[in-house]
Chains A and B, each alone.
Chain A
Amino acid sequence: MRCLLVYDIPDDRTRTRVSEACLDYGLERIQYSAFLGELTPTYRRELMKRLRHILGKHDGKIQCFPLCERDWNARDEIIHQETST
């Protein structure tokens, strides 16, 4: 299922380790602290377990939202890119 994973972690090292774990599971980075990708329920559980372990006693918040096709299709986007010459 398609999942949106976002986090807010102040500690640099922990944050890097969390982002590495997301990339290891094939998630794609859509913002500095937001990842999107396909995860089977098993992989999702596995990843969350690993993230819980990485976060440990550090401050932070990690959330993973499954998105159904309908909700995904209803998403809105505003993307503006500065055209650099």
Chain B
Amino acid sequence: MPKKYLIADEFGTHIGKHSQRLRLTRSKTREKLGDYPLLHLEAVLVLSQGVSVSADAVQACSERGIPIFFIAGTGRVYALLYSAALVGTVSTRRAQIRAYDDERGVAVAIAMAQGKLRNQRAALRYFAKNAEAVRADAVQIAAQHVQDGIVELDRLPRTASLDEIRNILLGIEGRAATHYWEGVRAILRPTFDWPGRRTRGANDVFNQALNYGYGVLYGQVERALLLAGLDPYAGFLHADRPGKPSLVLDLIEEFRQQVVDRPLIGYVNKGGHLEQDEEGLAKPTRRKIAELVLDRLTTRMPFEGERLSLNTILQTQARRLAMFLRGERDAYEPFVGTW
């Protein structure tokens, strides 16, 4: 298999360019750790401190549209390097900003919330099939509660302004999330004592793993939005706040369950180990999670009569969002995966 991702997770390594390949070496000894043909490369991930990247490598990547992600220990993407030429998209951005104040913004916010809840419901039902009877019941009940949220979303008025319905939307989402995570708790092996979902500042290993996985996905979503010419900082469901890429947070909702929750839950339930050290997740664990998420993104699934990788579907959704905002499509349909 050609190597699709370069993951630099070791202190004191260097990413350089050699011929048409990226080369990972140990800085001190010049020892070669691996060659990655640019031809097959989809992304470069820097997961550790003390990693250097040469200007040649950056240039080669940006010319080929290969993004370079810098990801902190918590999963936060603190930098994303991309070609500087991706800014000629004024008409899309103008449409995006304007859409906030009309019915398109409301439609997008509701559609994305719909996508999230439908994926949550599907995820729970999928896992219930494989769980033993007692736990399966608990999971099914959780799925039923999420279903209630979907019905509530359907009933929302589409004519209200975004600011009027945001709190209602977030309320429905929040209640569904509580039930969803209750369901996930039932799915996880009983021996795996999980306290429940915590977001920031979580110190148990599974929550940290989820946050890390979302971080990796987050970078991919941001990339898809940028490629579609959208501004990642102007969202609909999530309110504007300086420095908060709210559109990334909006679009990621359609993909969290498929891309992060499912492989992570599967990994843990099959006895996979997640380890912590003083700083949080242990290095090998971070790498493992990044690989799980990136592998999952290459999985193909049916999408409107075709079989496309989740990566391609993510990009398609971003493009369609842009088209809808520009008025070239009549509706924005959220992505709901098959399970």
Contact = CB atoms under 8 A, between A and B. Distances in A.
A20 B38 CA distance: 13
B37 A25 contact: yes
Interface residues of B, number: 11
B21 interface: yes
A26 B39 contact: yes
Interface string B1-38: 11100000000000000011100000000000001011
Q: How large is the interface on A (under 10, 10 to 19, 20 to 34, 35 or more residues)?
A: under 10
Interface string A8-22: 000000000000110
A26 B40 contact: yes
Contacts of A38: 1-2
Interface in A1-46: 20-21, 23-26, 37-38, 43
A24 B2 contact: no
A25 B114 CA distance: 43
A43 B40 CA distance: 11
B40 A24 contact: no
Contacts of A23: 19, 21, 35, 37
A62 to B, nearest CB: 17
B19 A20 contact: yes
B95 to A, nearest CB: 36
A42 B21 CA distance: 19
A37 B2 CA distance: 8
B37 A43 contact: no
A26 B37 contact: yes
A25 B19 CA distance: 11
Interface in B33-87: 35, 37-40
Contacts of B39: 24-26, 43
A26 B2 contact: yes
Interface of A: 20-21, 23-26, 37-38, 43
Given A21-B19, A38-B1, 17 more contacts: A20-B19, A23-B19, A23-B21, A23-B35, A24-B19, A24-B21, A24-B37, A25-B37, A25-B39, A26-B2, A26-B3, A26-B37, A26-B39, A26-B40, A37-B2, A38-B2, A43-B39
7 contacts: A20-B19, A21-B19, A23-B35, A24-B21, A24-B39, A26-B40, A43-B39
